[in-house]
Amino acid sequence: MKLIEKECPNCGASLSFTKEDTSCKCEYCKREFEIERDENKKKLEEQFNLLELKTPLKIFSYITFGTFISHFIVFLFVFAIIVFISFNIVKGLNDSNSIFNDNTNFVTTASDLSNNDYDTLDLNSRITILKETTGTTTEYMVKGDYKREKIYIISSKKTNILIPVYKVVYENVFDKSEEFKHTIYIPVEYRNIKSKNNSIAFSIGNGRIVADEYYFNLEHSDYSYGYPDMDTLYEKVIKQYEKDYKIVEK
C-alpha cells in the first residue's frame, strides 16, 4: 500500500498514512489529525488535508503528549481552576458565617450610630410623625419641638429594628393652660438599618409609627398616636421583642 507523505500541521515533521486511513498521528509531536479527502484535486498528495481533531481527544492529547507551550497553557488553565475553586471554598466558609458577617454592619448598639445618624433619624421621624398625624387634631397643636426621649435598638442575628421614641406635647389652641396639655410618646420604627462609612443614610427607609391610637380628647375627635408614658410604651411595643431579640436602649 502506497504511503502518502504530508507535513505535520503542528510541528512540520514528516507524517505518513495510507489512502484508507481516516486519521493519523505525528510521530514527532504526537498530535492526532483527521484526514479529509478531496478527490477533485489532481495530485494524490494534494487530495489529503489534515485537520485537528475537534473531539475531547484533542484536549486529552494536549495534556498527555502536548508540547511545552501546550503544557504551559494547560498548567495555567488548571492553576486558574484551582484558584477559582479555592476562592469559592474560602468564600463558602465565610458565607456559612454570613449571619455573623452581615451583622457586622447592622446597627446593633448605640455606638454604631454617629451624631449624623441621630440627626437623620430625628429628621425622618419628624416627617413620619407629621405625615401620619396631620389632620388628626384640630383643636390641639404640637407645642415646641419633638424631643427624642429614647432609642431602642432591637437586634437578632438576622435583622434589626430601631425605634426612636419622641416626646410630643400637644396644647389646646384656645386654652394654652397646663390643664389642656397632653404629652405623648411616639415610637417610630425603622427596620434593617445598616451602617456603611459611618452612616445609616443609605439604608434608612421610611419610618412608621408603631402605636395603637392613643386618644386624648375623643369628644372633639382630637387624638394622636402614641403612649401616655414610657412604661406603657415599653409594655405595648418593645416587650414583644424581649424573647427573640437583644434590646439595647439609649
Closest distance between Zn ion and the C-beta of residue 42, in Å?
Answer: 26
Closest distance between Zn ion and the C-beta of residue 6, in Å?
Answer: 10
| Residue number, 11 or 85, with CB nearest to Zn ion | 11
Closest distance between Zn ion and the C-beta of residue 8, in Å?
Answer: 3
> What is the contact mask toward Zn ion in residues 25 to 64, using x (rule: CB under 5 A)?
-x-xx-----------------------------------
Using rule CB under 5 A, residue 162 touches Zn ion: no
- The answer to whether the CB of 202 falls within 8 A of the CB of 192 is no
> CB under 5 A: which stretch of 7-15, 78-86, 172-180, 218-226 binds Zn ion?
7-15
> CB under 5 A: which stretch of 13-21, 74-82, 124-132, 214-222 binds Zn ion?
13-21
Using rule CB under 5 A, residue 130 touches Zn ion: no
Closest distance between Zn ion and the C-beta of residue 86, in Å?
Answer: 36
**164 HSE (CA, 13 A, CB side):** 24
Using alpha carbons, select from 200, 62, 64, 186 the residue that is nearest to residue 133.
186
| Residue number, 10 or 103, with CB nearest to Zn ion | 10
CA distance 153 to 201: 16
Using rule CB under 5 A, residue 13 touches Zn ion: yes
| Residue number, 12 or 205, with CB nearest to Zn ion | 12
Using rule CB under 5 A, residue 11 touches Zn ion: yes
